[in-house]
Amino acid sequence: MNLSDAEWKRRLSPQAYNVLRQEGTERPGSSRLLDEKRPGTYVCAGCDLDLFSSDTKYDSGTGWPSFWKAIPGHIKTKTDYKIGVPRTEYHCARCGGHQGHVFDDGPRPTGKRYCNNGVALKFIPA
Give me the pLDDT at residue 61, please: 96
Find the catalytic residue in 44, 92, 95, 115. 115
Residue-range definition of the domain harbouring residue 91: 5-125
CATH code for the domain of 9: 2.170.150.20
Q: Which residues pair with 92 in a beta bridge?
A: 75
CA distances from 56 to 9, 119, 122 (A): 31, 18, 15
Q: What CA–CA distance (Å, rounded) separates 11 from 45? A: 10
pLDDT tens over the chain, length 126 residues: 789 999 999 999 999 999 999 999 999 999 999 999 999 999 999 999 999 999 999 999 999 999 999 999 999 999 988 888 899 999 999 999 999 999 999 999 999 999 999 999 999 999
What DSSP element (H or E) covers 80? strand 75-80
Active-site residue flag, 115: yes
* CB of 75 closer than 8 Å to CB of 90: yes
Number of domains in the chain: 1
